[in-house]
């Protein structure tokens, strides 16, 4: 007999962020066009920033990415060879599409670099056709003949017929962009049609293409017209929430404005085969792409087989489909998906290893896997290998109330879906869960597990927020988030950029933000710079001197708040900082506002700064400075209406921590119900 599952109720309407594939292409085509392109709802994520940054480095006047901006393209003549290597981060699409573009720009040379994951991925697949067309492609590592770093030298290209054996949209896109840039014609043939955004966007810009069942031909000497872009919601990102709804026990979830291009909807069809009901509403065409709202409700899930022509249409969604299959009745087979081995991680190995150690029976195949679904609760720690789609796939399983799953690197979702943890939490109807859990399973503490616990600690300057929060987090055995560390990390990269601090603009500083990600350590949420811990440099005097300049920028504050929210949606946290209980976590389980007499705050701050007991005139001077600062901060530092104010003037830090820990434990008990 299968165990009774605790209730998971989904609700509401969510528009997931813009489509990643279209976002890259929108930027590249806008830069290649002579004219202005307005781009709306682009995906603002690390991968897309990599493309924007690379285009900037080649001379394109690319503004900071936002929900609505205009690229004033100056055509192909505006591109020059970048002075230093193009940093493609984690993004295969950036690398391959831009390798194509540079290959078609005669006389331009660019060196491509990436992070450890991207540096393991095969680039020979673009090198082969681009060389055949006449470009020069060199790989620098003697031990690996087709991986980054890669040097591309553009040439006067000639027409070829490219046999795209892997049905790769990145290869097809690279070859089309190379041909377009050099005025050559080209034919690309593929065994199955890969996603066709490049073709649709080129057609919309007046480029003549001949599309047949087995490929596409582009005649030579084509011009690009300027066409505005509205990027629809990414179907690959939407699939995680569709899967959550499929795995729920009740409710309905609406996913709005999702791109329904038939080369991208394979995962929805696989889920329908497994029994999920997905209604498509308000379907219309925008910018040559069908878009619509998906209405999804839970289902009794059965196993299926995924292979052949399905694969290119759901390649990015296979990790989450495998996780859904782990909860379906029967054996699901995934075959013909060898490509998964060369994605951001070896996704066959990552999925198999993680499912297996959660207790699922799964068999690894060279080109896929066989999964035997189970109704049992899953428990364990997931290793993402820094792969965003592995983090999100297992994040969905972690949201199921009976499962006890932790994820090593939830911050890596910033590659394609920075607001994932928040959207995941928003899709669950916690009030309905609490009610049903109470009715059905009174006494079962695990029933209807609520979203992560957030304890918010706020207060004026020098009120001891940070040290208190750190201590409280330690006592509660949850993660500490120091929002100030994000400001410091961003200040550090700004200081390391070419621009002098007094010339920093919010746009310039924000253009650096994608270099900051975060990772969970045992105790805290740690901001990383380019994937590395830079704690010492972040605490150093130059950063301390300039951090307030960065922290005053509204766009930066918004960005830091997003990072902190994202961490607080992924794991239980104690967060300290300004606005935490009001703007950042208005629904935190416990909000504490620390206050203390200005004289006492001044005294404590000076002891910390000077390492000795200050004298009265020193304290008086510092008090004056603090009072002035309080007046400036007044608007930002107001306590939330439901905050508990603790006056720490006459209590020791130990007593104050003890009190907050007791309040936090009570808040946790309340959330877990009877
Ligand atoms: C993409 C194509 C696919 C996909 C990737 C994005 C694109 O890769 O997996 O996430 O935007 O062209 P391949 O072209 O390697 O199949």
Indicate whether 561 and 658 sit together in one domain. yes
Indicate whether 125 and 176 sit together in one domain. yes
* Ordered mean pLDDT values, 10 residues apiece, the chain (674 residues): 78 97 98 98 93 95 91 96 95 98 98 95 97 97 92 98 93 98 97 96 97 95 94 98 97 98 98 96 95 96 96 97 98 98 98 98 98 96 96 96 92 92 88 47 38 89 89 94 93 90 90 86 88 88 89 89 88 89 90 92 89 93 87 73 91 91 90 63
Nearest to 508 by CA among 548, 562, 547, 553: 553
Whether 587 contacts 455, CB under 8 Å: no
Query: Other C-beta atoms within 10 Å of 645: how many?
Result: 12
Residue 352 maps to a domain = yes
How many A from CA of 471 to the centre of ligand 1?
Answer: 45
Q: What is the model's pTM?
A: 0.84
Nearest to 256 by CA among 315, 301, 296: 296
**Phi, psi for residue 303 in degrees, rounded to 5:** -70, 165
Indicate whether 205 and 245 sit together in one domain. no
Pocket of ligand 1 (CB under 6 A): 21, 93, 168-170, 173, 194-195, 315-316
Indicate whether 314 and 421 sit together in one domain. yes
How many A from CA of 277 to the centre of ligand 1?
Answer: 27
Indicate whether 329 and 212 sit together in one domain. no
Residue owning tokens 């696989």: 270
* 393-419 tens-digit pLDDT: 999 999 999 999 999 989 999 899 999
Indicate whether 642 and 510 sit together in one domain. yes
What is the residue with the minimal CA distance to atom 9 of ligand 1? Answer: 316
Indicate whether 295 and 270 sit together in one domain. yes
Catalytic sites, residue numbers: 316
Beta strands in 299-425 (DSSP E): 305-306, 331-334, 361-365, 368-372, 379-382, 404-407
What is the residue with the minimal CA distance to atom 16 of ligand 1? Answer: 168
Hey, what are 61's tokens? 């006047």
Residue 35 maps to a domain = yes
How many A from CA of 196 to the centre of ligand 1?
Answer: 10
Instruction: Count the residues in the chain.
Output: 674
Question: What CATH number is given to the structural domain containing 620?
Answer: 3.40.50.300
- How far apart are alpha carbons 494 and 551 in whole angstroms? 12
Residue 289 maps to a domain = yes
Ligand 1: which of 97, 193, 194 to mutate, judged by most atoms within 8 Å of the beta carbon?
194
Looking at residue 637, what is its pLDDT?
66
Indicate whether 647 and 516 sit together in one domain. yes
Give Cα separations from 612 to 461, 499, 606, 608, 626 (angstroms). 20, 38, 8, 8, 19
24 CA: nearest ligand 1 atom: 11
Indicate whether 357 and 306 sit together in one domain. yes
Boundary-marking domain end, from 193, 214, 230:
230
What total of structural domains would you count in the chain?
3
User: Is the bond preceding 390 in cis, omega lying within 30 degrees of 0?
Assistant: no
20 CA: nearest ligand 1 atom: 11
Whether 442 contacts 564, CB under 8 Å: no
Strands 215-218 and 186-189: antiparallel
168 CA: nearest ligand 1 atom: 14
Whether 113 contacts 141, CB under 8 Å: no
Collect all residues with Cβ–Cβ distance below 8 Å to 280 and sequence separation of at least 6: 260, 292, 293, 294, 295
- Cα angle value 405/666/524 (rounded, 5°): 45
458 exposed, middle or buried (CB, 10 Å; 0-12, 13-18, 19+)?
A: buried
DSSP conformational letter for 580: I
Whether 480 contacts 474, CB under 8 Å: yes
Ligand 1: which of 18, 313, 315, 336 to mutate, judged by most atoms within 8 Å of the beta carbon?
315
How many A from CA of 121 to the centre of ligand 1?
Answer: 12
Domain interval for residue 46:
20-230
**Phi, psi for residue 499 in degrees, rounded to 5:** -85, 135
The number of helix segments (H) and strand segments (E) in the chain equals 23, 30
Cα radius of gyration rounded to whole Å, the chain: 26
- How far apart are alpha carbons 363 and 89 in whole angstroms? 32
Ligand 1: which of 25, 121, 168, 264 to mutate, judged by most atoms within 8 Å of the beta carbon?
168
343 CA: nearest ligand 1 atom: 9
- How far apart are alpha carbons 215 and 200 in whole angstroms? 13
Contacts of range 670-673, beta carbons closer than 8 Å, 24 or more positions apart: 670/589, 671/450, 671/453, 671/589, 672/445, 672/450, 673/434, 673/437, 673/438, 673/445, 673/447, 673/448
Question: What CATH number is given to the structural domain containing 384?
Answer: 3.65.10.10
Residue 445 maps to a domain = no
Q: How many CA atoms lie within 13 A of 651 on its CB side?
A: 17
Boundary-marking domain end, from 180, 201, 230:
230
How many A from CA of 316 to the centre of ligand 1?
Answer: 8
Indicate whether 412 and 473 sit together in one domain. no
Looking at residue 112, what is its pLDDT?
98
Boundary-marking domain end, from 230, 247, 264:
230
Ligand 1: which of 26, 91, 92, 267 to mutate, judged by most atoms within 8 Å of the beta carbon?
92
Hey, what are 225's tokens? 């017209």
What is the residue with the minimal CA distance to atom 13 of ligand 1? Answer: 168
198 CA: nearest ligand 1 atom: 12
Indicate whether 221 and 240 sit together in one domain. no
Residue 4 maps to a domain = no
Looking at residue 438, what is its pLDDT?
38
How many A from CA of 35 to the centre of ligand 1?
Answer: 28
Hey, what are 175's tokens? 């070859």
Residue 443 maps to a domain = no
Strands 136-139 and 150-153: antiparallel
Nearest to 472 by CA among 567, 561, 576, 570: 576
What is the residue with the minimal CA distance to atom 11 of ligand 1? Answer: 21
Looking at residue 436, what is its pLDDT?
43
Whether 397 contacts 407, CB under 8 Å: no
167 CA: nearest ligand 1 atom: 16
Indicate whether 610 and 592 sit together in one domain. yes
How many A from CA of 194 to the centre of ligand 1?
Answer: 8
Residue 10 maps to a domain = no
């Amino acid at each position: 007999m299968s165990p009774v599952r605790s209730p998971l109720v989904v609700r509401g309407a969510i528009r997931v962020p813009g489509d990643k594939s279209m976002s890259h292409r929108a930027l590249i085509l806008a830069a290649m066009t002579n004219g202005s392109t307005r781009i709306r709802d682009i995906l603002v994520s690390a991968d897309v920033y990599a493309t924007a940054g690379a285009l900037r480095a080649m001379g394109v006047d690319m503004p900071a990415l936002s929900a609505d901006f205009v690229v004033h393209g100056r055509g192909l003549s505006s591109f020059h060879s970048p002075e230093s290597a193009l940093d493609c981060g984690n993004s295969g699409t950036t690398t391959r599409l831009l390798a194509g573009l540079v290959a078609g720009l005669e006389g331009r040379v660019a060196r491509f670099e990436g992070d450890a994951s991207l540096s393991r991925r095969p680039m020979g697949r673009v090198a082969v056709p681009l060389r055949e067309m006449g470009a020069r492609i060199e790989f620098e590592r003697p031990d690996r003949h087709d991986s980054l770093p890669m040097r591309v030298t553009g040439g006067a290209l000639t027409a070829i017929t490219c046999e795209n054996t892997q049905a790769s949209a990145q290869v097809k896109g690279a070859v089309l962009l190379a041909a377009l840039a050099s005025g050559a014609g080209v034919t690309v043939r593929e065994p199955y049609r890969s996603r066709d955004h490049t073709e649709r966007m080129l057609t919309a810009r007046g480029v003549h293409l001949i599309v047949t069942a087995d490929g596409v031909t582009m005649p030579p000497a084509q011009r690009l017209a300027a066409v505005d872009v509205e990027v629809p919601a990414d179907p690959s990102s939407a699939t995680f929430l569709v899967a959550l709804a499929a795995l729920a026990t009740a409710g309905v979830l609406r996913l709005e404005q999702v791109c329904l291009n038939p080369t991208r909807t394979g995962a929805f069809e696989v889920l329908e085969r497994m029994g999920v009901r997905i209604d498509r509403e308000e379907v219309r065409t925008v910018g040559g792409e069908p878009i619509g709202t998906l209405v999804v409700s839970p289902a009794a899930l059965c196993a299926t087989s995924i292979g052949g022509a399905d694969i290119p249409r759901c390649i990015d969604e296979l990790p989450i489909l495998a996780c859904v299959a782990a909860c379906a009745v029967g054996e699901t087979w995934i075959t013909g998906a060898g490509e998964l081995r060369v994605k951001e991680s070896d996704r066959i190995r990552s999925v198999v290893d993680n499912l297996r150690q959660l207790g699922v029976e799964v068999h690894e195949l060279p080109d896929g896997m066989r999964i035997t679904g189970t109704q049992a609760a899953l428990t364990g720690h997931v290793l993402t290998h820094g792969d965003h789609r592995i983090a999100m796939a297992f994040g969905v399983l972690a949201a199921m109330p009976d499962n006890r799953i932790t994820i090593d690197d939830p911050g890596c979702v910033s590659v394609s879906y920075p607001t994932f943890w928040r959207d995941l939490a928003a899709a669950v109807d916690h009030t309905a869960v609490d009610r049903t859990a109470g009715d059905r399973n009174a006494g079962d503490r695990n029933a209807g597990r609520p979203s992560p616990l957030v304890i918010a600690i706020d207060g004026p300057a020098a009120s001891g927020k940070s040290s208190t929060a750190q201590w409280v987090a330690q006592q509660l055995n949850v993660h500490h988030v120091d929002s100030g560390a994000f400001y410091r990390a961003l200040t550090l990269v700004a200081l390391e950029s070419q621009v002098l601090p007094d010339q920093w603009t919010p746009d310039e500083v924000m253009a650096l933000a994608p270099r900051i990600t975060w990772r969970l350590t045992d105790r805290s949420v740690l901001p990383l710079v380019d994937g590395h811990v830079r704690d010492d440099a972040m605490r150093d005097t130059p950063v301390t001197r300039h951090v307030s300049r960065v922290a005053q920028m509204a766009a930066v504050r918004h960005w830091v708040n997003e990072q902190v929210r994202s961490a607080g949606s992924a794991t239980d946290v104690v967060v300290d900082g300004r606005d935490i209980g009001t703007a950042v976590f208005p629904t935190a389980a416990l909000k504490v506002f620390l206050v203390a007499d200005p004289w006492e705050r001044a005294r404590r701050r000076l002891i910390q700064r000077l390492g000795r007991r200050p004298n009265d005139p020193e304290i008086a001077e510092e008090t004056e400075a603090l009072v002035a600062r309080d007046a400036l901060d007044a608007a930002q530092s107001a306590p939330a209406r439901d905050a508990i104010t603790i006056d720490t003037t006459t209590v020791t830090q130990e007593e104050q921590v003890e009190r907050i820990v007791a309040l936090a434990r009570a808040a946790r008990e309340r959330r877990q119900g009877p």
